[in-house]
Amino acid sequence: MPVSRQDRAVLRELGRQYAEIAALPDQQRTIALWKAHNGLKPVRPMVTIDQVAWHEMNVNDELTLRATEPWCREIETHLRRTLYGWRHLRVDMVVEPAADIRKAFSVTGFGIEVDEDVAVSDPKNDVVGHFYHDQLRTEADLAKIRTPQVTFDAAANARTEELAHEIFDGVLPVRMRGTGYPMFAPWDQLSMWRGVQNVLFDLADRPEFVHRIMARLLEAHLGLLDQLEALGLLENWPRIHCTGAHTDELPAAGADPARLRARDVWAFGQAQMFSTVSPAMHDEFELAYAKQWYDRFGLIYYGCCEPLDQKIAIIRRIPRVRKISMSPWVDIERGASQIGRDFVFSRKPNPAFLARDQWDPAGVEADLRATRDACRRHGCPLEFILKDISTVHYEPQRLWQWAEIAMRVAKE
């Protein structure tokens, strides 16, 4: 895979800018804040922005790609978005002092491909509507679920590493990295393989069938994890589910930095379609299985968009859970009173503020203050994670201003 002189020049110049930012003292100061925060001894609330509507963000060609080769364009995209974030959406981001290059490995799927109809409202936006067709209707269909197979290509990995050094040597250190944080989200998988309505009906109508599906999925996920661990592909990335993951607690004692174990890293999980499922059913059909997977890991981030303010009691039983997601649909006061000082209150402010016809910065600030004040009353370590940003009404300055408001609220 040769790299043209032009592509190399583009990446080296971006790498130079990236390295200058990574070397700033700000990075170590922010890492120290994240470590205190993740250790449940926060200095102040922390703020991150992720899952941005990048198709609406390009200003003054800051995100316009110049490289031509696809692999180079992937790296260029990461570099340009990081530089853009530092200029406009800095909040509590950390720029790592290395070019992170994905190791050469592949993972097969779970044996089932998504069969869906898609509804598109904005052809430039990758956020679309989905109607999923049920592919697990009978006991016989369970045989479709396979344990993914992981393959590491040492020769290809060596070639990739050599190429990365050819591009970045003298500008930015190269760091070959394995998989992102491990995630256990079987209910996201099932919603796409079956459709949400079919699964929710089966929780009541065919509970034993659902249990057999979950047992098979747990087996498949554990098999995948065993392979990633054996091949040395697990990593402690600087982010876990859109938020800072820096901690002094990982890796665990006895770790080999070149071959981390599951207990040396963060993991993440969720059951978003259980938003309307009772705590008892949530525990029976999700956490009873998830806890067996989480038990392998060092620290856990639990939840995403599902409201969990009435489920803290069952989440407490997850081994080594550290952060609990508090989506836009929770009762803030109830969630804060249940979380207290025991976990991070991982608040997901509503991205709909950015999508409305009229931008309302005062409303954004009031919303953030309400969460901050509730967490202060109950002593909760608090982080704001703005994510799932499908649109900013094609006004990127809205997101820039959101960042300014959030940091002001956090630092007061």
The CA-based diameter of the chain, rounded to the nearest angstrom, is 63
Query: Cβ-count burial of 364 within 10 angstroms (0-12 exposed, 13-18 middle, 19+ buried)?
Result: buried
Can you state the angle between helices 207-230 and 186-194, rounded to 10 degrees?
Answer: 120
For residue 1, the model assigns a pLDDT of 66
Please state the length of the chain.
412
Residue 185: which domain range? Answer: 5-411
Q: List pLDDT tens digits, range 44-94.
A: 999 999 999 999 999 999 999 999 999 999 999 999 999 999 999 999 999
- 383 residue type, one letter: E
CB 131 within 8 A of CB 191: no
Q: List pLDDT tens digits, range 326-373.
A: 999 999 999 999 999 999 999 999 999 999 999 999 999 999 999 999
Q: Is the pLDDT of residue 127 over 90?
A: no
How far apart, in Å, are the Cα atoms of 349 and each of 48, 103, 179, 342, 386? 11, 34, 28, 21, 6
For residue 26, the model assigns a pLDDT of 97
Q: Is the pLDDT of residue 131 over 80?
A: no
- What is the Cα–Cα distance from 259 to 228, expressed in whole angstroms? 10
For residue 294, the model assigns a pLDDT of 97
Provide the number of structural domains found in the chain: 1
Return the CATH number at 206: 3.20.20.210
Mean pLDDT, the chain, as a whole number? 95
Q: List pLDDT tens digits, range 375-395.
A: 999 999 999 999 999 999 999
Per cent of the chain over pLDDT 90 is 93
Averaged pLDDT, 158-173: 97
Q: Residue 98: CA atoms inside 13 Å, Cβ hemisphere, count?
A: 10
Query: Cβ-count burial of 280 within 10 angstroms (0-12 exposed, 13-18 middle, 19+ buried)?
Result: exposed
How far apart, in Å, are the Cα atoms of 25 and each of 28, 78, 96, 152? 6, 22, 12, 37
Query: Helices marked H in 23-111 — which ranges?
Result: 25-38, 70-88
Averaged pLDDT, 165-180: 95
